[in-house]
Structure 1
Amino acid sequence: MSFPLPSPLTLRAATDADAAFCRALFASTRDDLRQLPLPAPMLEQLIDMQRHAQETSWQMAFPHAAALILECDARPIGRLLLDASGRDWRVVDIALVPGERGRGHGGVLLAAVRDQAQAACASLALSVLRSNEAALRLYQRLGFTLVRSDEMRHELLWQAGAGAEAAPAR
């Protein structure tokens, strides 16, 4: 699975060689755990356990999801886990390394995914932590609408024909 992206961004299938990058990327998203008063080895073990639990859960819930690596100038900067196996597509996860967040790469990637969903006449769903207000604003700029919330997350939906004209956030 590939989506056209403007240079220098590219998207490719994740391979076993990306395991260390994916571990480090996950760890970079867990500031909540880093605040715990734990010795470094115990903290790293906890983060690794959380990563394993999350990946196992996603594999069970989305067995057909594609793991994709976002690169900038052939350097990995992010990961997209996308289930496009049916009429209703799902962004299972999207994450960028800290130094690349806020630079427009996520918006460009999601706009490309949204455009491919449009071409396939598919809807596109995702969820975001309620605390991630910047991501929520990005998703809404890209035409996603809030469909429900709970104490932890917002669920958003983009529907073919209902937001394709939204400009990519760059």
Structure 2
Amino acid sequence: MLFRPIGDDDLPFLSALYASTREGELAASGWPDAAKRDFLAQQFAAQHTHYMRHYPGAEWLIAETGGRAVGRLYFVRWPRDVRIIDIALTPAARNHGFGTAMLGDLIDEAGAERKTVSIHVERMNPALTLYRRVGFEIAEDKGVYLLLQRQVNTAS
């Protein structure tokens, strides 16, 4: 898997990727497809603007394999923590080890710098299983969201 910085040309892919992560929630809404598309486009634009404004210095990366974009990885390095802002894969790329590899790279990098890795995750996110499997634990319960943290590995 290769990573490259996002560019303006990636916005349609990123919007579609965002929509793919929310399809399950909206399936039961009863909304017409056009209303779902409009809502998801608006939500993506709001999220993208928020991320860019509130995480200066973050890395905004597209994950590629075989020359195709398959996901995004957004994170920021703070003095004691690497905060994952967002990580997402296309439906076709899920459950193939890409998420584990992406997290493993960040965990290794953070561990070398003696930093924790953290992420806010919705309580019902199916990726919670993955986060727990790679060593994340609940650091704080924020209601709808959980703050998960992967401590520095002190064994090495």
TM-score with structure 2 length normalisation? Answer: 0.89
Q: How many residues align?
A: 155
Q: Larger deviation: 23-32 or 146-155?
A: 146-155
Cα RMSD after superposing both structures = 1.8
Query: Is 2:118 aligned against 1:125?
Result: yes
**Within 5 Å, which residues of 2 pair with 1:1-40?**
9-31=1-23, 32-40=25-33
CA distance in 2, matches of 1:38, 1:159: 42
Q: Larger deviation: 117-126 or 56-65?
A: 56-65
Query: Could you report, residue by residue, the CA deviation over 1:104-133 in whole angstroms, capped at 9, with x for unpaired residues?
Result: 110011000110111122211102111124
Query: Is 2:130 aligned against 1:138?
Result: yes
Counterpart amino acid of residue 80 in structure 2 = R
Query: Is 2:42 aligned against 1:53?
Result: no
Counterpart amino acid of residue 45 in structure 2 = H
Task: Classify the secondary structure of the residue corresponding to 2:119.
Answer: strand
CA shift in 2, pair 1:37/1:90, >3 Å: same
Task: Classify the secondary structure of the residue corresponding to 1:30.
Answer: helix
Question: How many Å apart are 1:27 and its aligned residue?
Answer: 0.8
Aligned to 1:84: 77
TM-score with structure 1 length normalisation? Answer: 0.83
Question: How many Å apart are 1:85 and its aligned residue?
Answer: 4.5
- Percentage of matched positions with identical amino acids: 34
Q: State the 4+ residue runs in structure 1 displaced beyond 3 angstroms.
A: none
Question: How many Å apart are 1:34 and its aligned residue?
Answer: 4.1
Unaligned runs of 5+ in 2: none
Counterpart amino acid of residue 92 in structure 1 = I
Pick from 85, 100, 114 the counterpart of residue 107 of structure 1. Answer: 100
Query: Could you report, residue by residue, the CA deviation over 1:62-105 in whole angstroms, capped at 9, with x for unpaired residues?
Result: 12211101111111100001112433210000000011111111
Task: Classify the secondary structure of the residue corresponding to 2:40.
Answer: helix
Aligned to 2:34: 41
Query: Is 2:147 aligned against 1:155?
Result: yes
CA distance in 2, matches of 1:23, 1:113: 24
Q: Larger deviation: 16-25 or 80-89?
A: 80-89
